[in-house]
Structure 1
Amino acid sequence: MKDEKNKKKVMDAKDVKDAKDAKIAKDAKDAKDAKIAKDAKDAKDAKIAKDAKDAKDAKDSDDSKDSKNKKSKKKDKKSKKYNYFEATVSFTDYSCQAAELLHSILSNFDTATLESQMLQMHEIEHSADLAKHQMMSNLVKEFITPIEREDIAAIAQEIDTVTDTIEDVVMRLYMYNIQTIRPEALEFSETIVSCCNALKIAMEDFHNYKKSKNVIENIIRINNLEEIGDKIYTRAIRNLHTTCTDPIEIMTWSKTFDYLEKCCDACEDVSDVVESIIMKNS
């Protein structure tokens, strides 16, 4: 009986120990699982926080870049502000190109190449038109202009007329099927080249019109050249009617001389507008 009690006590003690060990093991496992879960959660939270920070940093960086780009574009736009004085110089450069081509055509006249030369002249005239349209597009949006916008538009239009009229001469040579060049035509083309060059020099200094002497000096020069053109025209028409008996040739050359003389007049018209603007703003 006593042995059974002792055995029972031993078994009870063993059960208690086993239960205690099981609880300890379970607690240890639970603690380990809890730690693993906590570590996983902490790692996940840390990753989320890092990703959020990285995303924020990236956004801040992008915002900073966008801000810099906007400022840079704004600065570039400001620094690339359309220059109307430079534009008028470029317009006269087209006129000079057209005048030089006209003189070359008349000096080395060849009916076989006249059509291609006419197309070449048209390319110059078309480029001049595009440049003028670009200026007008800027002009209508401009808040403040260096001189009155009507004056800028007037100069652009008058210079464009110079280039157009030079092209008209070449078109007449082609349309009227002119076969030989009269000497006065060469005198005219030389005068037109001189007029356009003087016009370009005047426009190059036009931005400084209040102090520059070049502008007025070349305006006077253009006026003098236009008078020379008038004299050439008078002599050319006189010689045409006294030396030529072909009525068709008289008609075609009379009209061609008209346009050659108009080229000089067109240059003078530009100089008159420029002179008027100088007087208005002095």
Structure 2
Amino acid sequence: MKIKKDADYFELLSKMIACTHEAARKLHELVVVYDQVPERCGKIHDIEHACDDLLHILLKKLNAAFITPIDREDLLAIAKGIDDITDAIEDAANAFDMLCVDTIRPGAVEMAELILQAMEALVKAVGEFNQFKNSQKLSTYIVEVNSIEAKGDTLHRHLVKDLFHRGDPLTILQWKEIFDIMEQVLDAGEEVADLLEAMAMKNR
């Protein structure tokens, strides 16, 4: 029975990061196709809401549990970190709508591609986390997330510098906000990866 209860937490974390990955995929579609923006944002909102529901389920399980596979505070920190990524993805999508963006800049596609790649690596990392004591792959996926985040930092600096060099005031206002939020998505992803690494080391 204990094994089944332990597995439930990891399964919920995997379901949460799957929602986050789907939100990242929808954000990527938004910037590549760029039509029906309010409708596409609405779909990302629905995914974010599903992630919230999973977080609440995990919270209820933690509150009712007598024994957890790792400290409940650690499980909660990972779950909230995943939820923060999904929130940031929704914020990024909504920024295109609220700031009335008419035309997509190539940098947005590049950032969205990095976000999608980071979430794909995080899906693998979270999937490996239930085997953290023996996994040979978890650290590889964590390094991959960190590497993608570093690329995002470099790209973000380049894009913002180019904005101030070439952009008009409205363009700068719109796109700095968007690029900043997209970079925050990558930062939030790295934070979850670092949490996974820290919790794995703590519990080995």
> Could you say which TM-score interval applies, normalised by the shorter chain?
over 0.9
Counting matched residue pairs gives: 203
Q: State yes or no: 1:142 paired with 2:70.
A: no
Residue 161 of structure 2 corresponds to which residue in structure 1? 238
Bigger mean CA offset, 79-88 vs 130-139: 79-88
Which ranges of structure 1 fall in alignment gaps of 5 or more residues? 1-76
Residue 88 of structure 2 corresponds to residue 165 of structure 1: yes
Deviation at 1:238, TM superposition (A): 1.3
> Root-mean-square deviation (CA), in Å?
1.4
Counterpart for residue 116 of structure 1: 39
Q: Counterpart in 2 of 1:73? A: none
1:99 to 7, 15, 24: 24
Hey, what does 1:87 align to over in structure 2? Answer: 12
Selected match of 1:180 from 103, 113, 117: 103
CA deviation after TM superposition for structure 1 residue 80, in Å: 6.5
Residue number among 189, 192, 197 corresponding to 1:270 in the alignment: 192
Q: CA deviation at 1:240?
A: 1.1
1:194 aligns with 2:117: yes
1:258 and 1:106 mapped to 2: Cα distance?
A: 16
Query: What residue in structure 2 maps to residue 224 of structure 1?
Result: 147
- Give the fraction of aligned pairs with identical amino acids, expressed as a percent: 36
TM superposition score normalised by structure 1: 0.70
The verdict on how the C-alpha distance between 1:117 and 1:154 changes in structure 2, with shifts beyond 3 A counting, is same
Q: Rg: which structure is higher?
A: 1
Shift of 1:79: 9.0
CA distance in structure 2 between the aligned counterparts of 1:79 and 1:119, rounded to whole angstroms: 38
Supply the distance in 2 between the matched residues of 1:90 and 1:216 (Cα, whole angstroms). Answer: 21
| Displacement after TM superposition at 1:177 (Å) | 0.3
Higher RCO by CA contacts (8 Å cutoff, separation 6 or greater)? 2
1:183 corresponds to which letter in structure 2? P
Q: Which 5+ residue runs of structure 2 have no aligned equivalent?
A: none
Task: Identify the residue that residue 152 of structure 1 maps to in structure 2.
Answer: 75
Distance 1:178 1:125 in 2: 22
Quickly say closer, same or farther: Cα 1:78–1:224, change in 2 above 3 A: closer
> Moved runs in structure 1, 4+ residues, more than 2 A?
77-82
Q: Of the candidates 173, 177, 200, which is equivalent to residue 255 of structure 1?
A: 177
